Amino acid sequence: MPETTPPTPPSPLPADLLAALRAIVGPRGLLTDAADTAPYSSDWRGLYQGRAAAVVRPADTAELAAVVRLCAGLGVALVPQGGNTSMVGGAVPAEDGSQLVLSLARMARIRALDAVDMTLTIEAGATLKAAQDAAAAQGCLLPLSIGSEGSAQIGGILSTNAGGNNTVRYGNARDLVLGLEVVLPDGQVWEGLRRLRKDNTGYCLRQLFVGAEGTLGIITAAVLKLVPQPRETAVALCAVASPEAALELFTRFQRHDPAAIQAFEYMGGEGVGFVLKHNPGLVLPLAAPAGHYALVELATPRPDAGLRGTLEQVLEGALEAGIVQDAVIAESAAQRAAIWRLREEHTEAQKREGASVKNDVSVPVSQVPALIRDAGAACRRLMPGIRVVAFGHMGDGNIHFNLQQPEAMTAADFLARDHEIMDCVGAVVRALDGSFSAEHGIGRLKPYMMAAWRGGAELDLMQRIKRAIDPAGLLNPGKVLP
């Protein structure tokens, strides 16, 4: 039988909505053809296939606010979307075609950069990379670095409170925000783009929108803190005997010069193996593959800090003590980049290796080795042959405790047990006083876990805040809250 395309179901939207939207954003600002809206309707992990009724792409805050006002009046739900790099389906619309995707991509201007105040005022649709480049051009550093920085946008970064590789030193996205401009669910614009280092004037509203995943308002611009650009950077890749040894190495760097640690990442041997397998151009710059690795980056804005000497001194001591088995220090920017690629290619390599279940979890830093050991044992008991790919931000306690399908199992059979696997890891994380979502957020994947982890007064308060700010529930429905 020839294959036929199923007919598109009728749109459940008010009849004159599209014309009214076009009048606000113009023809360039509205996508309605299925081929044009398709990339905005699913997430890159392929977990969800939604159907956007249309994609609205306002050019500025006034247009965006007019769109929100219009939709509020008609009771139409909006799904804000940045670079669509969510790990938890945080930016996909529902399947029934009743929701509009609101893309921030055309709002990508740099409004101001002040190298005395050390602030960057930037619109939500700019990519993180563009923001980093703008800061670097003025001799400053925007101290946030994540694997998807070429596509992830500032609005999404803030709405999810992204973390990444430098949290150990500079904190999460929320620690970098001085001010915000936000379009509220009724279309009002909150102009909170202040760039003050001190401002105790009632509730700290900006932090309400950071990490709210677009359920309380739409961030349209932000004032971000910058720091001085490092003058010196030193990177090493170390083979270590165990996660305990990796933690001991971290502790030694902390004791030696805590202010210099720019990143401290852990990688299990299995994940590095996948990275090498799927990137034939990459080589492991060590004598032999190991079971565990630590990647350490030191950086300083001080002249003549002698970081290289610090790195050598700490590593020599650790080698002598048997904590580090082998280590290589990058001799050039190219080598530094090659070492970092061994870390940053994990996500893509896991995708190529087959189906995986991700657990973006955190525990107190001291408990990271216990997490890796206990969760590994629990998962292997649950599903013999399961492959553990644990890696991530050891210095801040956030490990991506990911599981890869057993070689002898189909992807579908493996993924059918995703909740079971997440709950298995979750039990270990809970016993260690950790969190079930460290930096990727809740999105559409994890609201079902909220009651068990954040129930009682905490969830009740969140639900009351949601009802107070978005009583009709039109902003990013079905995300975050159960």
- List, in order, residues 6 or more apart from 20 with CB less than 8 Å away: 70
Instruction: Give how many residues touch ligand 2HG by CB under 6 A.
Output: 7
Subset of 375-394 contacting ligand 2HG (CB under 6 A): 392
- Please identify, using beta-carbon distances, which residue of 218 and 365 lies nearer to ligand 2HG: 365
Binding ligand 2HG (rule: CB under 6 A), the pick from 85, 127, 362, 402 is 402
**Cβ of residue 445: shortest distance to ligand 2HG, in angstroms?**
12
Q: Which stretches of 20-175 are assigned E, i.e. beta strand?
A: 30-31, 55-56, 77-81, 99-103, 110-114, 119-123, 140-141
- Return the number of the residue (81 or 347) whose C-beta is nearest ligand 2HG: 347
103 or 404: CB nearest ligand 2HG? 404
Residue of the chain from 358, 387, 417, 479 that contacts ligand 2HG (CB under 6 A): 358
Q: What is the DSSP letter of 102?
A: E
CB-nearer residue toward ligand 2HG: 123 or 297: 297
Instruction: Give the residue at shortest CB distance from ligand 2HG.
Output: 347
- State the Cα torsion 461-462-467-468 to the nearest 10°: 70
Q: Which of 147, 354, 406, 447 binds ligand 2HG (CB under 6 A)?
A: 147
103 binds ligand 2HG (CB under 6 A): no
List the structure tokens of 62. Answer: 């006034």
Q: Which of 400, 417, 446, 466 binds ligand 2HG (CB under 6 A)?
A: 400
Binding letters toward ligand 2HG, positions 318-347, x by CB under 6 A: ----------------------------xx
> With the CA atoms of 458, 463, 468 and 474 taken in that order, what torsion angle do they form, in degrees rounded to the nearest 10?
150
Whichever of 164 and 179 has its CB closer to ligand 2HG, that residue is 164
Residue 262 or 347 having the CB closest to ligand 2HG = 347
* 395 alpha-carbon distance from chain centroid: 17
Asked whether the beta carbons of 279 and 341 are under 8 A apart, the reply is yes
Do 57 and 105 form a contact (C-beta atoms < 8 A)? yes
Closer to ligand 2HG by CB, 29 or 163: give it: 163
Residue written as tokens 């270590």? 240
Rounded to whole angstroms, the Cα distance separating 312 from 299 reads 14
Provide the token pair at 113.
């950069």
Q: How far apart are the first and last CA of the chain?
A: 42
Q: Would you tell me which residues interact with ligand 2HG (CB under 6 A)?
A: 147, 346-347, 358, 392, 400, 402
